[in-house]
Amino acid sequence: MSLTLYLKWQLEEPLKLMMYGYETLYDVLWDKTQSILTQISMQSKHFILHVSHNSDDSEGSLQIFDALTTHAMDNLHTAALKYGIIVKDLAVINKQFKGQ
């Protein structure tokens, strides 16, 4: 699956960012977003398979992606705080399943 995300954030404490060896804010966000989405997709594999096999069920698909997005947002917000970053919004703006 391929996702395009919209991420709105604010850097509150720039010195925290430097303490962890990341060169830029984008490096932190990329690393943490990739990690969290991989974790969630592994934990929620049956939901993702349901969506890909039942693409006619658009309401169910939307509910599943809303739940996954909320879960990702919560985890990313918590992870980013350690680096002085406040994540304000996260949305999936494009998704593509393998074979599409």
pLDDT tens digit at each of 100 positions of the chain: 677 888 888 989 888 877 887 878 788 888 888 888 777 766 666 665 655 555 555 566 667 777 777 888 888 889 889 888 898 988 878 877 666 5
pTM of the prediction? 0.67
Measured between alpha carbons, how far is 13 from 47 in angstroms, rounded to an integer? 36
Q: Which CATH class is domain 2-96?
A: alpha beta
From the list 15, 19, 5, the residue with the least C-alpha distance to 76 is 5
CA-angle at 5, arms to 80 and 37, nearest 5°: 60
- Tokens describing residue 70: 């909320």
- Tokens describing residue 34: 């990739």
